[in-house]
Amino acid sequence: LPAVYSLDGLLVFGLLLVCTCAYLRKVPRLRTWLLSERRGVWGVCHKAAVIGTRLHMAVSVSCLLMAFYVLVWK
């Protein structure tokens, strides 16, 4: 729980949210069920999925760098 309140914990949480929502967007049944709403809590998931699919190269590089940071430096 204390890791959520640090900056690197928030970055890890954000990257995991974007990656998970982008993956869920690729599943057709889940896309219509979860990511069709554009407002509210599910709207955040929709926007994260859009970011993950449009910036997939930057997100993947960020995930690799964050994994290296968490495993080696922290």
Residue 73 binned pLDDT confidence (cut-offs 50, 70, 90)? confident
Q: Give the separation between CA 27 and CA 23, rounded to whole angstroms.
A: 7
Instruction: Give the per-residue pLDDT at 39.
Output: 82
| Reported pTM | 0.81
Instruction: List, for residues 14-46, the tens digit of each pLDDT value.
Output: 999 999 999 988 888 877 777 677 788 888 888
Query: Which pair of structure tokens corresponds to residue 33?
Result: 């069920």
Which of 1, 44, 6 is CA-nearest to residue 52?
A: 44
pLDDT of residue 1 exceeding 60: no
Residue 4: band (very low, low, confident or very high) from pLDDT cuts 50, 70, 90: low
Of 43, 62, 41, 52, nearest to 17 by C-alpha is 52
* 44 vs 34: CA distance, rounded Å: 11
Domain range summary for the chain, segments of one domain joined by +: 4-73
